[in-house]
Each structure stands twice: as C-alpha cells, then as structure tokens.
Structure 1
C-alpha cells in the first residue's frame, strides 16, 4: 500500500487572493519580513498498487482528472510505502 501526499497550489501566474490577505494580516501583526504567502490544498490518499511506477501513474491520473483545475493550479506529491493498518 502506498500513501500519496498531494500538495495543490495556484500556478505562479495566477493571483492567490487568500494568500495576499494572509500576507497583509501578517504585516499588520508586525511580521514585516514576510514577502509571499501561498495557500493551497492538501490531500492524503492511500492506494493499492503493484509498484511505485503504477502508484505514481495512478496519482498523476486522478489528480489531474479530479483534484486540480489544470488551468489555474499545479501540484506535486510525495509517495511512500506504508504497512497495512490492523484494526482490533
């Protein structure tokens, strides 16, 4: 079983209004050294796949099909092998 940690953010060319609001609030709180804030979405998905290549292909497929807006968002992900959970 694999665990995919997927990070979705706006593309650099897209204005991030929520990030700008957070940055402004931080400046008002005297955190003057903050130059940029990017907000986004985070997903954790467990999947069964025969190997890391199959898991990678599946994550890329469902992420571009469902989790992101390809016009405005980009993503990256980390993939790790996890043990099956045992529930007692």
Structure 2
C-alpha cells in the first residue's frame, strides 16, 4: 500500500523561537498588533510504501525521530492518507 504523509515539526513550547519572534516583530511594525505567539516550524510531505497503515506509522515515527526532527527541542506529528492506484480505482 502507498501512503501520502504530511509531517509537521515544531519547536517545543519551552524552546525560544527567534525566527518566530522576528516575524511577530515584523508583523507589529506592519500594523498587525493583534498577532501573538508566532512559532516557526517545518512542513514535509512524502510518499511511503508499507504493508499496512500501522507499519507506515511505525516507519514514519522512526524517520521523524532519527532524521526529520530533533526530538530534544522539537515535536512532530503527521497525517497519513492512503493513495489508491489506478487499478484499485477501477475495482
């Protein structure tokens, strides 16, 4: 089975986000005084092949934990959607 994954990586709430602070400051200078708590993160999309959705989730956890996120200072979550192949769509 093929799956489309959307992965979101964000700094933990306890970690200072200098990029978020800079964006918030820029927004205030532009007149957007109502914007608070800007946090900057990463968004990653990938396609993964696995025997089941559970196997895909387990692989994604390993991929995120080892490569895509620094788990000491970042959190991650993902959404997984099964991709139907053209042959499956005809059935």
Instruction: Tell me if TM exceeds 0.5.
Output: yes
Between the aligned partners of 1:35 and 1:54, the Cα distance in structure 2 is 39
Distance 2:45 2:70 in 1: 18
Larger relative helix fraction: 2
Runs of 4+ in 1 over 2 A off after TM superposition: none
The residue matched to 1:59 in structure 2 has which SS?
helix
For the residue of structure 1 that corresponds to 2:15, the secondary structure is coil
Q: How many residue pairs are counted as aligned between the two chains?
A: 85
1:33-88 per-residue CA deviation (whole Å, 9 max, x = no partner) reads: 10111111111110101111011000001110111111111111100011348xxx
**Quick one: distance in 1 between partners of 2:30 and 2:83?**
41
Structure with the greater alpha carbon radius of gyration? 2
**Could you report, residue by residue, the CA deviation over 1:6-38 in whole angstroms, capped at 9, with x for unpaired residues?**
000100000000000000000110101101111
Structure 1 runs not aligned, ≥5 long: none
CA RMSD of aligned residues (A): 1.1
Q: How does 1:1-88 map to 2 (within 5 A)?
A: 1-84=2-85
